[in-house]
Structure 1
């Protein structure tokens, strides 16, 4: 939480200074930074507003690569709000620009994120194809942090198709890569997906030399996201955990976790996630 707040202060100071100097590229970069920090903090509407302002400036500057990056960021804000229908076309537009400009790194990121949106839309098979293509194109020279999320998405795409062996292998790889990158958000996401896998298997899973049940995995995910102050991710973990507890018969505990997730989504203005929860049980 402290690192995010420090980055927020830095971004605000940079925006004030660049605005005074009318340094438009630096203004756009500062807006991009502020969008990213608000995204981590779960303030998705604020994040989107900053990135929309950045897109406008990058268009004025004619910087197509940065335009693609900002459209991807807007897709991320939509996806993290649970608006997968809005996210997918933004990723597709980003992907088109990346391919036209020969931006291979951007292409990999945008294709991976598109896979994440397609999971939210229930298009698990297509998402799996996107994600396996991303991993293939990335080869061995890509940062661990980037591929951690791709493997997490792949695990969830496989879970949606009940491909349990593939899902568990991908989730373990997501955790290992997140730990290698020392990225708490990636580690927290990987633990949640491991919890989902353990829940679907209805048995503990081995990770390294230790064995964990679904509750262990969800609890670790929630601990990490709580320490980060990542409220949206806390709610996602609580929702998965609550659904698991209800499914296994502990209605009291499961309902409490479920309601806590709903309260967070509601407080963050994530209406689509609230609606999904209200219609799920």
Structure 2
């Protein structure tokens, strides 16, 4: 792919290939090659004065940074991509860039801003007749609604996205739809239903060889089992999530897994292991400047030494 970037005439094709093969990048196994290729394509397009190609490449680069937990770099690339997409009047970039900004807003707990970004992206995809992009935005809008306390709306949006993904035959995105629906059902206190949807997504993620999403689904299943007072199952899923995400999930996501695992281990009476997990989580939260560090610090202070 880097060789394509070295040929100005091939840069537009390379950017499009990167966009349509994002599923490989999302797995977590090929992020560095994607980052190198997207950077090379973006730089070649910048030198050649091609904002359309540069914008598309920067969308991919921003997504790589987002999945790796490098949220500030992801935001910078998404904002640059959006400006380039506007300059080129490129509907694809004008959909993908606000979508990425919305995902980053959710990461920071800014759900109202996320909803606005997803709504903007939804309009761009609809104007372009892009059913795939439109369905993705309906699913992500449900995530934002969930953060705003609009649980029933989030469930309805997630159910709609599942049906649309099924109709489109998009297996991996259908798995994402089940994941989003599981989150909404869990938030509504319907933990067993949530676990059913998470399991449906988990099977598809495993069949698609997606270690990142497999790990994230194990994490969500751990959280649901914990809420349902099933500590052994929560610990088992938490440990699987940790193995899968430790090297590809980014510090903040790994810290979240460690926190859930610690809670499960404490309920199982494994105080020493729980204490170690919370200490590791605190270190990671502090490294990324997460406000969640204060909560873990308080837990450790009240728990004392094991």
TM-score by length of 1: 0.86
Matched, 1:152 2:179: yes
- Aligned residue in 1 for 2:205: 178
2:188 is equivalent to residue 168 of structure 1: no
Confirm or deny: 8 A CA contact 2:59 2:96 kept in the other structure. no
Aligned equivalent of 1:216, options 236, 240, 244: 236
Contact 1:225 1:231 in 2 (8 A): no
**Alignment match of 1:73 (pick from 100, 123, 137):** 100
How far is 1:274 from its partner?
Answer: 4.2
Corresponding residue of 1:37:
64
The superposition leaves residues 110-165 of structure 1 with CA deviations (integer Å, 9 ceiling, x where unpaired) of 11112223333443322111101111223343322212222122112212222133
Evaluate the alpha carbon distance shift between residue 105 and residue 4 of structure 1 in structure 2; reply closer, same or farther with a 3 A threshold: same
Are the counterparts in 2 of residues 91 and 114 from structure 1 also a CA contact under 8 Å?
A: yes
The alignment covers a number of residue pairs equal to 273
Equivalent residues in 2 for 1:164-243 (5 A)? 164-203=191-230, 213-228=233-248, 230-243=250-263
Give me the CA root mean square deviation: 2.5
- CA shift, 1:202, in A, is 2.6
Of structures 1 and 2, the larger Rg is shown by 2
Q: Does 1:104 align with 2:145?
A: no
Is the Cα contact below 8 Å between 2:38 and 2:57 reproduced in 1? yes
- One of 110, 127, 135 as aligned partner of 1:83: 110
Gaps of 5+ in 2: 1-27
CA distance in 2, matches of 1:165, 1:229: 26
Out of 26, 29, 36, the position equivalent to 2:53 is 26
Q: Could you tell me how far apart the structure 2 residues matched to 1:94 and 1:277 are? A: 36
